[in-house]
Amino acid sequence: MASFIQRLGPSGKRVWQAHIRRRGYKAQVRTFNTKAEAQAWAATIESEIARGVFVSRTEAEATTLKEALDRYAVEVSAHKRSVGREASTIRWWQASALARRSLASIRGKDISATTADRTVGANTVRIRLALLSHLFNIARTAWGMESLGNPVELVKGQRPKLPPGRTRRLVGDEETRLLDAARTYGGEIGPIITWAIETAMRRGEIAAMRWEHVDRKARVLLVPETKTGTPRRLPLSSRALTVLDSLVRCIDGQVWRMRPDSISQAFERICSTAGIEGLTFHDLRHEATSRLFEKGLNPMQVAAITGHKTLQMLKRYTHLRAEDLVALIG
C-alpha cells in the first residue's frame, strides 16, 4: 500500500508526498499540492505494477524540456544537414514557458497554447511542432523514457493549415528583363539564373556544385547532396552546357563563388531593378519544372530530374486545363 506524508514545501505551503514501495521495483516518490492528487497518482502506479505494465516515469519527470533540447541539439540536430535552421527552432522552444516544465508534465493543450500565435506563419508552426514531436519520440525510444507519451500527436487536429504552394511563373517579357538586369548587375548571378531555369535545381544545390560532378561528355551532372537526402543525376540541356562553357574554372573545384544567401540577395536587387514584383529565386525551380512538363516529359521523368519524392508533389506544376485534354481523349 502507498503511504502519504504531509510536509512543508519550499514555498512554505504544506504539500503531500506519496511513497510507493514494492519488492522488485525502485521506490516511487512524488509530491502533490493535495492529498487527493497524491492518492490518484498512487492508485495509477499501483495498478500498473499489479498488471505488470509499470514503467518508471522518474527520468521523464526529472528532465526539463530545456535540458532535453540541449541534449537533442548535441546528439540529434548536430548530425543533420539542417542543423542551422533547427538551431533557431530549438532556441524558440527554450525561450518558451514550457522550457522549465518536465517532459512528463507537458500536455497537448500546453503545446497548443504555446504555439497559438496567429501572427506566425503556418509553416513555422509546422516546423516547431515537428521538431518537438521528434524530440519526444527520441526521448522515449533512445533515451530510456519508455513511459513518455508524445503530446504533439494530440495537437494534430489543431495545427494550422499550410497555404497552397506557390505557382508564380515568369510572364510576358520578365525573363528577358530579368537577364538584362542581371547583366547590368554583373558577376555570376546572370548565369546562375539561366542555370536554375534550365535545371530546376534548388538554390543550395546550385551553390554546392563542383566541377568533378560534371560529366561533360555524357551531359550529366551529379547532385550528391539534396534536400531529400537522395543523390540524383540530372541531364543537361544545350543551354545549360553553354552556361558551363562560359565559366572560368576555380582551383578549389567549386563551380560558383556565390553562396545561397548571396544568390537570394542579388536576385532580389535584380528583380527590383527590372520592375518585377512577387518573384523569388525559388520560383525559378517552379518555372523550370513547369517547362519540363510543357516539353512533354511525363511525371516520372520530371521527378528524376527535379528530385521530387512523390507524384503528388508534382501535381501543382502541370497546370492541366480541360481545353488541353480535349485532343487527347478524342
The Cβ of residue 254 has, within 10 Å, a number of other Cβ atoms equal to: 14
Half-sphere exposure (CA, 13 Å, Cβ side) for 108?
Answer: 11
Q: Are 198 and 176 in contact (CB under 8 A)?
A: no
* 282 among known catalytic residues: yes
Q: Are 111 and 152 in contact (CB under 8 A)?
A: yes
Q: Are 139 and 60 in contact (CB under 8 A)?
A: yes
* 216 among known catalytic residues: no
With a CB cutoff of 8 Å and minimum separation 6, the contacts of 139 are: 60, 63, 68, 103, 145, 148
**Rounded Cα distance, 221 and 112, in Å:** 45
> What sign does the dihedral 245-250-253-257 (CA atoms) show?
negative
Alpha-carbon distances of 323 from 254, 294, 297, 314, 327, rounded to whole Å: 46, 15, 19, 20, 8
Question: Which one of 126, 282, 291, 316 is the catalytic residue?
Answer: 282
Q: Are 188 and 204 in contact (CB under 8 A)?
A: no
Question: Which one of 57, 72, 140, 317 is the catalytic residue?
Answer: 317
* 259 among known catalytic residues: no
Alpha-carbon distances of 139 from 29, 69, 76, 149, 188, rounded to whole Å: 22, 10, 11, 9, 46
The C-alpha cell at 166 is 506557390
Question: Which one of 128, 140, 203, 285 is the catalytic residue?
Answer: 285
Q: Are 234 and 221 in contact (CB under 8 A)?
A: yes
Question: Which one of 227, 295, 315, 319 is the catalytic residue?
Answer: 227
Question: Which one of 140, 202, 203, 286 is the catalytic residue?
Answer: 202
* 317 among known catalytic residues: yes
* 185 among known catalytic residues: no
**Rounded Cα distance, 84 and 188, in Å:** 25
Residues identified as active-site: 202, 227, 282, 285, 308, 317
